[in-house]
Each structure stands twice: as C-alpha cells, then as structure tokens.
Amino acid sequence: MKYRSVIFDFDGTLANTEALALNIYNELADRYDYEPVRQEELQALKKMTFREMMDSTRIPMAKLPKIMKTAQRLMRGEMSKVSPFDPALKEHLVELKSRVEYLGIITSNNRKNVTAFLDHQGIDLFDFIVSSPLMSKQVKLQAVSRKYGLEKDDILYVGDESRDIVACKAAGVDCAAVAWGYNHPDTLLKEEPEYLVEDWTGLLEIVGK
C-alpha cells in the first residue's frame, strides 16, 4: 500500500461548483466592493495564483472571511444542482476506498455543503470531512495526521489549486494536482506537485493496489 490515506479538496476536485460559485461571487460584488468576473475572463483567472487573482479582482483581504461565509451560506440551498466532475465518481471512490485505510476531505467550503452534495450523490465513503479556513490546510493536514496515526508519507492530498500544493509542501505530504479543476495545469506545475493527473485512472494508478 503506497498511501494509507487519500484526502480530497472539494470544490473543483470532486464537485463542479464553478458556475454556481461564479454566480454567487458576482452577486456579492457590489455588497463587498470588489470587481465582478465576466465568463470570458475566467480562463485568464485560472492561470493566476490565489494571490494574483486577489489582486486582479481587488477583493479586500480583510473582508474575505465574511465574503466566503456569505457565499457558502448562499451555496447551501443549491448543492443538489451541483454535479461531480466525473459521472462515475461514486464508483471511483468505492474502488479507492478498497485500497486505503482512510478516505477524507479537507476543504475551504462549509462541511454542511459538502455533506449535502455527498448525500445527493448517494456517497457515504469518507472517514472524515474537515472544513478549513482558507489558508490553513497545512494545519488541518497535520491535525488529521496526528488524529489517525498517519506519517507524512502515508498521506496523498488531491486538489485543484496552486494553494493546495503550497499547503501540502508546508505539511510535508504528497500532492496530486488534478487538471480538471480551477487552476490551469501550467499554473499547477509551477508549484511542482508530486503528480499531475488528467483523470481518475491516473489517480488510481498513483495510489496502487
């Protein structure tokens, strides 16, 4: 067993929340005084790091926690409309669960939103779901490691943003960056993840039997 635990990000990795998040983001732009994003601008933003995106949209950092909390509350009633990136998500997770001891999620999203999505998809496979403040995934990864008696080498984190890779490096765990999520693959590669995966087949090959 190469890894004892695989931990996922949620938005952009398991769930395709992009359209919903963009609508809510623009809905809140006037209230919190930042620049809305047009659909045609989205691809350029995908090539930016988190800090570059913040500068481009002029989101006030001091307001970011409040913006996220409001956005997640608005998102909650819409989770039944959110699709997984892969229609066979449940089957892939069942296979992955058979290969590792612990399957988990560490996400910046609200735990209730994640649970609503999983319930709608009929997925009950995760040993833990942890909601993490935006820039604290490193801390949450370390806490999970201690709680479940895992060494750093036991953990593979799967995410779709450059900040996921940065957090993994700080926590000392391997990261598999997915090419289908928020950040463009070129942006992900700049942070030098251990793996860049194009599909679930690639991810399952990394985890091994």
> Which residue ranges make up each domain of the chain?
5-16+83-207, 18-80
The answer to pTM > 0.85 is yes
Task: For CA atoms 154, 158, 159, 162, give the dihedral sign.
Answer: positive
Check pLDDT > 90 for residue 149.
yes
Residue of 143 and 135 predicted with greater confidence? 143
Where is 144: in which H helix or E strand?
A: helix 137-147
Q: What is the CATH number of domain 5-16+83-207?
A: 3.40.50.1000
Residue 5 pairs in a beta bridge with: 102, 155
Check pLDDT > 80 for residue 134.
no
Given this model, what pLDDT does residue 87 score? 93
Average pLDDT, the chain: 93
Measured CA to CA, the distance from residue 179 to residue 177 in angstroms comes to: 7
